Structure 1
Amino acid sequence: MPGQHDATEIVLDVCGLMPPEPMERVLEALADIGPGQRLRMLIDREPRPLYRILERNGDRYEAILRDDGIYDILITPAP
């Protein structure tokens, strides 16, 4: 399930995947992200362990729970 790419944002939908695959996919995408890009992760459960990893790495994130029960998480990698 490849992400959609544009100049500034990569969208990665990992809904329905069993742990640890969502975290693995997000960390791989972050490792390959280009300068000035952000990652938008869509997932059907709150990825609390991922938050700790992002904080430890200095990445910023904003998470919202949409009305349809999907967590929409915008991740901005550390410079």
Structure 2
Amino acid sequence: MKTIDNRGLEPPAPMMRTLKTLEKMENGDTMAIINDRRPMFLYEELDERGYLHETEPLEDGSYKITITKNGE
């Protein structure tokens, strides 16, 4: 599983970086991202595209979001 560490980046860079990586992935592939905060606008985009996502808070206060590419 590919992991992208978006910590330290200012919005919208984490979202743009994540969506660009998802475009290159095949349906059914899973990736994880680590963000400083919950990516509320990314959630909307993922839901709209039909991708599955799960968020897990990490001990350092950041969040790990696991995304499975489904749909188009």
Task: Compute the TM-score of the two structures, normalised by the length of structure 2.
Answer: 0.91
**Residue pairs, 1:53-68, within 5 angstroms:** 53-68=45-60
The 2-side partners of 1:12 and 1:39 are apart by 8
Partner residue, 2:8: 16
Shift of 1:36: 4.0
Partner residue, 2:41: 49
Structure 1 segments (4+ residues) deviating >6 Å? none
The 1-side partners of 2:63 and 2:51 are apart by 18
Count of residues in Structure 1 that have an aligned counterpart in Structure 2? 71
5+ residue gaps, structure 1? 1-8
8 Å Cα contact 2:26/2:69 also seen in 1: no
Shift of 1:35: 4.8
Task: Compute the TM-score of the two structures, normalised by the length of structure 1.
Answer: 0.84
Instruction: Give 3-state SS (helix, strand or coil) of 2:22's partner.
Output: helix
5+ residue gaps, structure 2? none
Match of 1:69 among 61, 64, 67: 61
Instruction: Give 3-state SS (helix, strand or coil) of 2:7's partner.
Output: coil
8 Å Cα contact 1:43/1:71 also seen in 2: yes
- Aligned sequence identity (%): 35
